[in-house]
Structure 1
Amino acid sequence: MARPVIGIVGNFFLINDRYATHSAGRMNSDAIAEVSDCIPLIIPSDPRLASVEELLEVCDGILLTGGRANVHPEEYGEEPTEAHGTFDRERDAVALSLVRGCVARGQPFLGVCRGFQEVNVAMGGSLYPEIRDLPGRMNHRMPPEGTLEEQFAIRHRVTVGEGGPFHRIFGATEVMTNTLHGQGIKAPGPRVVIDGHADDGTPEALFIEGAPGFALAVQWHPEWQAAMDPVSQPLFRAFGDAARAWAGRGRETLRAAG
């Protein structure tokens, strides 16, 4: 049987400050191909090019990647400020709709960093523009200098809920992760269950209550060295297993339902 297809949500990027592209980090496609054992397919984040319905028909699962641009605060009813950073409204339009579509269909998705924030906003939640400005919070941002190994290094603990989906995947309630984000969850959406926190209380893992399929997101970057990391590897394997189950059963269920 052909491997399932995972749509990797791309980011707008200018090469040499003038040539527009839709891009996704190679570590994302490596994790999907080598650990999830699926076919990675980069999705252009532009709603003019393909509808959400078409994308969900082509893909068996969706990976919502990290990115420099932040979700526009108008998506959760707030005015933009300088602290909110830069935006990509086209990615907002694609990614938020993909989350809602996956939840409705029971189609698997995994959110990472910005993708974690997108899942919360798509489900009616809000975000803080800058976590490090909150009392008692640590700086979760990527170090501005150093090698990739230094920037993506494991930095803090995440504690997940006993008996929850992340506990079942990791086989532990405490795991060590990296941290490379500035924003974070302010108020979770009505169906968003925060199932993992950093020691400073920052939400780091979530799932969607009542979702019929794999509907998980993490605030860290598990795609970094996913084939070797003891936390990343089982997460991407579980995602791949969910995509294989969808490819084998989920599509037929949708067709039978008309």
Structure 2
Amino acid sequence: MARPVVGIISNSHLINDQYPAHAGGTMNSCAVAHVSDCLPLIIPADPSLVSVDELLETCDGFLLTGGRPNVHPEEYGEPETPAHGSFDRSRDATTLPLIRACVERGQPFFGVCRGFQEVNVALGGTLYPEIRDLPGRDNHRMPPDGTLEEKFALRHKVAFTDGGPFHKLLGATEVMTNTLHGQGIKVAGPRIVIDGTAPDGTPEAIYVRGAPGFTLSVQWHPEWNAASDPVSRPLFQAFGEAVHAFADAKGRPALKRA
């Protein structure tokens, strides 16, 4: 039997600083294939190439990946400044309506880093351009030097709401995570529930209140060592179970009307 399909949102990338490509990290595909037990499908995040309706019909769930470009502040009603960094308006135009459609349909998605921020913006929230510039906040950015192991090393705790979905899924109210982001939630969208925070108060885990499907999203990068990490593996397993359930329900014959 074919595995259900998870659309992995890609990022625009230049190979050799010249050749344009739609890129997806290998570790994202490995997490989806080996832990979620789904078929990974890289999606070009460009509304001139794909439509939301086509994506909803083709894929059973979506992994909203991290990426260097940030959500453009116009998407949450704020002016662009140098602190906001680089942007990918095509990805914004693809993912934000896709997220809203998935929430309405109950179609599973898992937001990671930029994807976490996209979920908040899609549901009416706003973002800080640079967490480390805020009083009392830590530097959450990726270390500029070192090996991948050093860059993705566990760096801070995340505390979850007692009895919340992350606590129930991971069996702990506190875990250690990596951190490789510059931006973060400023104001949570009306339906966004902040279910986990870093020691400095930065939101790190969210879900959509009242959504019929899987909407868990995290600010860290669980795709790193997803098969063996005790925090990452349950997240991708739960996401995979939700995608399988959605695919099964979508594939059942429609009931005949009287």
Distance 1:217 1:30 in 2: 18
Q: Secondary structure, in 3 states, of the residue corresponding to 2:162?
A: coil
Counterpart position of 1:179: 179
Distance apart, 1:98 and its partner CA? 1.2
Counterpart position of 2:169: 169
Tell me, yes or no, if the aligned pair for 1:196 and 1:206 is still in contact at 8 Å: yes
Deviations 1:224-252 (A, max 9, x none): 01001000000000000000000011465
Identity %: 70
Counterpart position of 1:206: 206
Distance 1:141 1:17 in 2: 24
Counterpart position of 1:239: 239
Distance 1:60 1:10 in 2: 17
Distance apart, 1:3 and its partner CA? 0.9
Unpaired runs of at least 5, structure 1: none
Counterpart position of 1:99: 99
Cα RMSD (Å): 1.5
Counterpart position of 2:196: 196
Q: Quick one: structure 1 residues 179 and 117, their matched pair in 2 at CA, closer, same or farther if it must change by over 3 Å?
A: same
Q: Quick one: structure 1 residues 74 and 221, their matched pair in 2 at CA, closer, same or farther if it must change by over 3 Å?
A: same
Distance apart, 1:167 and its partner CA? 1.0
Tell me, yes or no, if the aligned pair for 1:107 and 1:250 is still in contact at 8 Å: no
Pair 1:33-2:33 in alignment: yes
Pair 1:65-2:84 in alignment: no
Counterpart position of 1:13: 13
Counterpart position of 1:223: 223
Distance apart, 1:74 and its partner CA? 0.1
Deviations 1:35-63 (A, max 9, x none): 00100000001001111011011101000
User: How many residues are aligned here?
Assistant: 257
Distance apart, 1:162 and its partner CA? 1.3
Deviations 1:110-130 (A, max 9, x none): 000000000000000000000
Deviations 1:207-238 (A, max 9, x none): 00000000110000000010010000000000
Distance 2:168 2:41 in 1: 28
2:131 counterpart letter in structure 1? I
Counterpart position of 1:108: 108
1:81 counterpart letter in structure 2? T
Counterpart position of 2:148: 148
Structure 1 runs (4+) greater than 4 angstroms displaced: 250-253
Deviations 1:139-197 (A, max 9, x none): 00000000000000000000111111111110111111000000000000010000000
